[in-house]
Amino acid sequence: MRYAKFDENKALTAVLFVARELQTKSPEKRADLYKLLKVLYFADRAHLSRYNRTIAGDHYVAMSKGPVPSRIFDMIKSIRGDGYYNSKSAFFGAKLSNSLHVQAHISIIPMDEPDFDELSETDVECLKEAIEEYKNLTFGQLKNASHDEAFEKADEDDCISFEDMAAAGGADQREIGFVRNWLENENFLPG
């Protein structure tokens, strides 16, 4: 599996944006961790199939209850005190803990505004669409929806291929080729 370059500032901005939107638009009026992680998956799947890259470069792991963005989940676990996130930036740890709060282990509370300079128009487009489409789904419905072809192809606790995610989002072979090119460039360029 080839990985993309993870952009922790974009990731934090995406989490803040989704958490804020779920607080106002979901039936339970809170940003549930499970729903937040699934919305990010659906947004990245759509972005891969349309624009041939992910939003923040995170990779997804096929866990028993569905795909999980690995680095973002590590960030959230470090905030709630049961995980470890290692940033390349000396200042990001403080920024992270000042931006998000986790209540009762599963509610994500944004303490800061998302910095939209971090996200492209297409990033915001896919995030908004995923929020709208999945905000009202129950745990079981989200689990079923996220257990798509890409998830099924991956072994449990292993990475889901970006190419398979793009295909599950509707990409054709030509577009999947663009995803491969993006990954090759990500792995070739210094980071």
pLDDT of 170 > 70? The answer is yes
The single-letter DSSP state of residue 176 is H
CB distance 32 to 39 below 8 Å: no
Query: Among positive and negative, which fits the CA dihedral 14, 19, 25, 26?
Result: positive
The single-letter DSSP state of residue 135 is T
61 part of a folded domain: yes
User: How do residues 73-106 score in pLDDT, each as one tens digit?
Assistant: 999 999 998 888 878 787 788 899 899 999 998 9
134 part of a folded domain: yes
Domain that holds residue 150: 8-186
Q: What's the pLDDT score for residue 190?
A: 55
3 part of a folded domain: no
User: How do residues 146-163 score in pLDDT, each as one tens digit?
Assistant: 999 999 999 999 999 999
191 part of a folded domain: no
50 part of a folded domain: yes
105 part of a folded domain: yes
pLDDT of 32 > 90? The answer is yes
2 part of a folded domain: no
Q: What's the pLDDT score for residue 18?
A: 98
User: How do residues 123-149 score in pLDDT, each as one tens digit?
Assistant: 999 999 999 999 999 999 999 999 999
Q: Which of these, 54, 56, 58, 57, lies nearest to 45 by C-alpha position?
A: 54
Q: Quote the distance between the C-alpha of residue 183 and its chain's center.
A: 17
List CB contacts of 92: < 8 A, sequence separation 6 or more.
8, 9
Q: What's the pLDDT score for residue 149?
A: 98
14 part of a folded domain: yes
| CA angle centred on 71, ends 83 and 132, rounded to 5° | 115
Q: Give the pTM.
A: 0.94
pLDDT of 189 > 60? The answer is no
Total count of domains within the chain: 1
What is residue 154's three-state secondary structure?
A: coil
The full length of the chain comes to 191
